[in-house]
Structure 1
């Protein structure tokens, strides 16, 4: 399985100015924007870390997910949430031949934690031996930073601040800081049945 981010978080969606206030950086100087690139990088790193821990895309963007078999013939849980749209489903055979599946054959089952691609008939399209399915979808709470839930937004700021404070010291923690872990706890997926995610 391979998840690929097709579009990135646009720079305009990142709350660099708010993050500066969070860090209490000085303002009113001629070189106010000199650290913007560095602050944006720390915000992106923190967003990626929070998304990896929670399985939630914070800012809406497009993804493609390639898999070689369905876990359930009638439905397939998607690797990220929340998903707002399924954009494509393509079946590829072992020789590279592609079939774009008619959208009437599947639908999106919305769920805050585990949205699913669901067959409208009895089963999802067959993935041939040696072939794959590529699901295109849009995931994220919304296109703007204001769409991100307040607790996740605060977790990003706390983690980005830790990255900023620890830069170049080599004293980073392997685990999430306690405050960040507490803020993201309710968004983390529950693992049951030998590691399967619900």
Structure 2
């Protein structure tokens, strides 16, 4: 299985001005593009860290997931949440051209913890022998920063500020989250058993 991010978070969707206010940066930074670039880096790092800890995609973007067999012939748990749309499902054979699966053959069961792709008929389309299935999907709470739940948005802001404050002299071996950030994201963390199965 391989998961690839096809689009990235636009800079315009990042709360750089809000992070400046949170950090209480003094005058003179308002038009400092180099400083904005640094703050953007800390925000992206905080987003990535919280997404990795929770399994939730915060700002909406497109992903491609490749798999070589279905976990279940009727339903397939997806590796990300929340999933807003299935863009396409395509079958790739060893010696045959790609075949896009008709949308009438599958549907999305939305769920904040374990979204699934499920068959609308008897089974999901067969995976070609030696081939693969590619699923392109849109995942995230929404395209704008304001689409995030307030507690997740605050967690990102706190973690970005932490990265900023400890940008010099921090212990590179310390991968733990600040206690306040960990508390804010705790309810979003998913215990992943067998790719989000029924257990």
TM over 0.5: yes
Gaps of 5+ in 2: none
State whether structure 2 residue 41 is matched by structure 1 residue 44. Answer: no
| Contact in 1 for aligned 2:82/2:113 (Cα 8 Å) | yes
Assess, with a 3 A threshold, how the Cα gap between structure 1 residues 130 and 30 changes in structure 2: closer, same or farther. Answer: closer
Quick one: distance in 2 between partners of 1:68 and 1:89? 13
Partners of 1:61 and 1:183 in 2: CA distance: 23
Offset of 1:100 from its aligned partner? Answer: 0.5
CA distance in 1, matches of 2:29, 2:11: 22
Please give the residue correspondences for 1:69-88 in structure 2 after superposition, counting only pairs within 5 Å: 69-88=69-88
What value does the CA root-mean-square deviation take over the aligned residues? 1.6
Paired residues for 1:79-158 under 5 Å: 79-95=79-95, 97-158=97-158
Go from structure 1 to structure 2 and tell me whether the alpha carbon gap of 1:29 and 1:182 turns closer, same or farther (over 3 Å shift): closer
How far did residue 24 of structure 1 move? 1.0
Structure 1 runs of 4+ aligned residues shifted over 2 Å read 27-34, 94-97, 195-198
Residue 189 of structure 1: aligned partner: 190
Residue number in structure 2 paired with 1:180: 181
Displacement of 1:160: 1.0
CA separation in 2, counterparts of 1:110 and 1:125?
20
Question: C-alpha deviations, 1:75-104, integer Å up to 9, x for none?
Answer: 111111111111000011123631100000
Question: Displacement of 1:18 after TM fit?
Answer: 0.1
Which sections of structure 1, spanning at least 5 residues, go unmatched? none
How far apart are 1:34 and its partner, in Å? Answer: 3.4
The two structures have a TM-score, normalised by structure 2, of 0.92
**Distance (whole Å) between structure 1 residues aligned to residue 131 and residue 32 of structure 2:** 53
Q: What is the CA deviation profile of residues 115-172 of structure 1, one whole-angstrom value per residue up to 9, with x for unaligned ones? A: 1111001111111222111001111111110000111111111111111122132424
Residue 104 of structure 2 aligns to a residue whose secondary structure is helix
Shift of 1:61: 0.9
22 and 148 in structure 1: CA distance in 2 versus 1, 3 angstrom threshold: same
